[in-house]
Structure 1
């Protein structure tokens, strides 16, 4: 048996008090005069042996009452935790889950309020000199400071629901980062333990950390969230009709019928609808609207769903441009076909240059570059095009069939494209069109049985490699490439087997040429993501922004201002937001009074799934690692912690025994009679 406060054992000297009282409590006899000895028959004789027995029993009761009272204050326990050294003190890290799911309500009130009470109970189970860390999803710098018990309680009272989202491994790593020295290391995680919180991967902790999971009693609630939105068209033009795709997700176990949808753009209602979502499934709907003006648009898609409402709105932003910039790099007398194509539509703004007069620095200003029949492709051009595609650009290559093959092969190899195997001068008709490719979506209303396809009079054959990702678009007989797409990590190449001159074939005059190039141009439009998720390491990409010596870009929205880290790369300006944005909404990217972009942020949808891990599932994540699991529905937090940290505590038993012996003393004094009649 051990003692939590062995210093109190010095109080056992108090047992000398009843001993001294017993030794010096001599009875004083009083003289009584009487006239007749017959009165002696009326006197009760005192039995000396019974008197001694009574005094000894009273002495023993008093001694034992004092002994057990002192032991109760010394906190005796039977140690079942060999990992704890009581002399080194304790550092206690307590994680308080303040995610959106903790805003749910059970019979104890909101889960966050219950979590606060449990955190305070944990602190009470430790000593005044122990140090405490309060950790929440916000991962603020002040959470790395150790507090005393009073400071900790005040900090707990200030915790509020946060949009930040963490997983259990991140929490454990953060808690272990605060432990220093030889003090005992205790970590507590107070949470409802949503399934997304623990995740599916194994969780690792340091052996010296004694981790306890405090699971709150949460109810599984039905919930519908606006999961995502996207457009059918990659470009947005003013005063045209558009369609937006909406995806909703049902996290409940029952079908959600006729969920109302509402689309608002720039504070104007543009469309309404309703959708039914099966249990545990997603559903997609399409909303049509029109009447957009030039500039940045702020869209909000909303539904009505109770009781959880944090995921009932989705913010998104997009830009309506007056035109799209396209660059055509031309060989001798090949510009007329591309110019005729794109100059026919005022939305496209074409810049046409000779292969001998290229401004490489301006490449980042264009969403599409067409390499059109150049005869002398240089290594410098190849390298610049490679960098352009690596940053998300799109390049279409129509080769010159009269150029030197070795120079073209060197050019294509630099671009990681297949090299030219040979030149074919026999007329050959395209044999196959990949109608399922996204470029041909909505191009054909009906498909004729014998479709007229382009003819090639002169064309290259390519030495294909299985190492290159390839998407055939138009193919010649025997599976030879006529036009194919080669995607890269960020951008894409479109490689044709022939040029656009009449001697090469009829591609430039074929009806398929116009929709094919327009679709390529539309898909090459480089637009920023419709929305970002808060509390993530987001990188916002903008066209190059020139800043003065004392200038900076700011994100401003709803009374909140952030100055992000800025980096300039390959003609772009990158804004590193990290986790600075903590509130959903719209933020203007501004330099002084100029607005360069509008970005939308939304809450993380991982909190939408109101299902929880069981004790067995949580213990499985830790494998053979020791953890202590506390279910507040089944056990008292204080008792569970005391038993875990100190073993089986005996102070309550000692206190009860002390009271029993005090009661025994009282009974002995009042009811034990040492006298008898004679």
Structure 2
């Protein structure tokens, strides 16, 4: 047993005073003489004996009462087993992602967590706290209380595993310290890949933060369709995680001016589509706004409508073949030029965004030089070899690019057996991986020392279509005698995306947290740069000059906030771009915490810290000594009253 105030125990020496008073009493008995004293003497002896026993008992109870009071003021305790050996190294993860905007008992879940943490943790306890975007190392509540109250939401949402790995790096290297990890989050399923995350060596405590209602309505996406001259339709996809009879208003604004308004309900479906009829003259940039009481970040979608820049596609073919013309027949999107071998117009090729060499027997030196320039400008080039090519000529060109080497021609029947769905060429082409696809057959192909990223593979596990540094290469010709690939549904998205990805045309909107490459059609002098501005916010993105265009690239950490940004050259407004947050957190599906291993689940922060105090500090005993003091005083009173 230990004492918090051991100096108080010196007061026990004062107990000698009542003992001395008892031993040296000055009271004397006065004798009275009577004629017949035999009987009285007997009574006198009995009274003196019982009186002496009573006084000793009273003295004992009084001493015990005083001793108990003194010991209670000394605050005795039994220390916890671990606290005598180890000190706690506490690392706290506080989730401040957008899902923490849900309503809790007292405001948002983030506000609830911060307030509970401030009121529960001991003021002088040292800890390390980190959020999704900030770290506070080796601090205490007194030092960062104001900063905790100012924590805001962020678009950054790391997985729970990455947060745990980050916490491991924040623990001190000092030995004989118990490592404790405390996670304050809502445990969304989209942020958890596995339940086998936590280690036994680290004391892990999970505190699931639960909202009052688990319903959220969000604007998922939008696109433009049915464009006729300046009239078009804006299609908006809105989703809810639960069915509801409630009515949710939705509106579209152009430069803060209300253009149209509607309302939706999710009584019988979780997905609704809203269509607004608009005119290009009415709007340059704008936003779609939804009224919803749950998450706020996904109730707005910012967009920008820019003049459509046509993609220039040039094809050089050994023989007349109209399949490319059919693929690029959309005159609102493409400008298509077709040339026969040795009749190409180089002035057109120099301005082309996407060049296709269709079954040429050889590649002229002048054309090789032009293609090398195009590849340096990050324009896509597609080579479809003919059935009888000059292999050395092709290898000479490919060798200058460090691209690949054609070894020999093979008359072996092969089957196209695999699509690399993760390849950028198939971005937004397939909703999910397909296993029962009707793959085409190749009857004649070239053996190529593959060097690049394969998008399509044949049955010999070699690339049928590969890409490296914007140069695409097929393994065989595509005419009907060689393969039925032209009849496959793959031909259209493959060639279409090659052309689309050759030019980073400004989209309706972009996603924050991604690397976005955007081609701005404007010439730029040597000493000028493009700025992205929104109100007082102004930053210069990474940019590169490409002829009459400037390719700007936004990093994952810029811009930080969603909204409409103006692209300016000095003070000249060039165009506008809309940036929005990722919608992953709109789905409020929670991960069952009982699946986690090597963890302790607590229902509140207060509960955790109260248990922590009991475990790491002491087993308090002073209350028991107060009870003992009262008990001994009561015994003293009973002795004085009833014992004769």
Normalised to the residue count of structure 2, the TM-score between the two structures is 0.70
CA distance in structure 2 between the partners assigned to 1:418 and 1:597 by the alignment: 49
CA distance in structure 2 between the partners assigned to 1:310 and 1:616 by the alignment: 29
CA contact (8 A) 2:562 2:579 kept: yes
Name the residue aligned to 1:631: 603
From 47, 51, 58, the counterpart of 2:55? 51
With over 3 angstroms needed to count, the CA separation of the structure-2 counterparts of 1:180 and 1:329, relative to structure 1, is same
User: Is the partner of 1:377 in helix, strand or coil?
Assistant: coil
Name the residue aligned to 1:98: 96
User: Is the partner of 2:129 in helix, strand or coil?
Assistant: strand
Q: Aligned-pair distance for 1:630?
A: 0.9
* 2:135 paired with 1:131: no
Deviations 1:2-60 (A, max 9, x none): x6xx664454444333245534565543579999989x999986711210111112212
* 2:300 paired with 1:313: yes
> Structure 2 matches for 1:5-154, cutoff 5 A?
8-9=5-6, 11-23=8-20, 28-29=25-26, 47-72=51-76, 75-79=77-81, 82=82, 89-124=87-122, 128=124, 130-137=125-132, 139-140=133-134, 143-154=135-146
From 167, 191, 196, the counterpart of 2:190? 196
Name the residue aligned to 1:641: 612
* 2:149 paired with 1:157: yes
CA distance in structure 2 between the partners assigned to 1:255 and 1:165 by the alignment: 28
Q: Aligned-pair distance for 1:657?
A: 0.8
CA contact (8 A) 2:505 2:518 kept: no
CA distance in structure 2 between the partners assigned to 1:465 and 1:232 by the alignment: 44
Q: Aligned-pair distance for 1:250?
A: 1.8
CA distance in structure 1 between the partners assigned to 2:398 and 2:231 by the alignment: 40
From 234, 241, 244, the counterpart of 1:251? 241
With over 3 angstroms needed to count, the CA separation of the structure-2 counterparts of 1:672 and 1:133, relative to structure 1, is same
> Structure 2 matches for 1:475-486, cutoff 5 A?
none
* 2:632 paired with 1:650: no
Normalised to the residue count of structure 1, the TM-score between the two structures is 0.67
CA contact (8 A) 2:68 2:628 kept: yes
From 150, 162, 184, the counterpart of 1:170? 162
With over 3 angstroms needed to count, the CA separation of the structure-2 counterparts of 1:33 and 1:232, relative to structure 1, is same
* 2:568 paired with 1:586: no
CA distance in structure 1 between the partners assigned to 2:378 and 2:261 by the alignment: 35
With over 3 angstroms needed to count, the CA separation of the structure-2 counterparts of 1:205 and 1:579, relative to structure 1, is farther
> Structure 2 matches for 1:186-225, cutoff 5 A?
186-197=180-191, 199-202=192-195, 204-205=197-198, 209-225=202-218
CA distance in structure 2 between the partners assigned to 1:629 and 1:227 by the alignment: 34
CA contact (8 A) 2:377 2:546 kept: no
Unpaired stretches in structure 2, ≥5 consecutive residues = 412-425, 430-441, 458-463, 481-493
* 2:237 paired with 1:242: no
Name the residue aligned to 1:304: 291
From 445, 450, 459, the counterpart of 1:463? 445
Name the residue aligned to 1:480: none
> Structure 2 matches for 1:531-542, cutoff 5 A?
531-534=509-512, 536-542=513-519
Q: Aligned-pair distance for 1:150?
A: 0.7
Q: Aligned-pair distance for 1:549?
A: 8.3
CA contact (8 A) 1:50 1:674 kept: no
Unpaired stretches in structure 1, ≥5 consecutive residues = 423-437, 442-459, 472-484, 500-515
User: Is the partner of 1:555 in helix, strand or coil?
Assistant: strand
Name the residue aligned to 2:628: 661
Deviations 1:541-591 (A, max 9, x none): 446999888765543213223344567899974534332433221123444
With over 3 angstroms needed to count, the CA separation of the structure-2 counterparts of 1:598 and 1:629, relative to structure 1, is same
CA contact (8 A) 1:264 1:300 kept: yes
Aligned residues: 576
With over 3 angstroms needed to count, the CA separation of the structure-2 counterparts of 1:161 and 1:375, relative to structure 1, is closer
Which deviates more from structure 2 when the two are superposed, residues 153-162 or residues 271-280? Answer: 271-280
With over 3 angstroms needed to count, the CA separation of the structure-2 counterparts of 1:497 and 1:217, relative to structure 1, is closer
* 2:543 paired with 1:560: no
Q: Aligned-pair distance for 1:251?
A: 0.6
CA distance in structure 2 between the partners assigned to 1:279 and 1:544 by the alignment: 46
Task: Give RMSD over aligned pairs.
Answer: 5.5
With over 3 angstroms needed to count, the CA separation of the structure-2 counterparts of 1:519 and 1:36, relative to structure 1, is closer
CA distance in structure 2 between the partners assigned to 1:580 and 1:526 by the alignment: 18
CA distance in structure 2 between the partners assigned to 1:324 and 1:115 by the alignment: 52
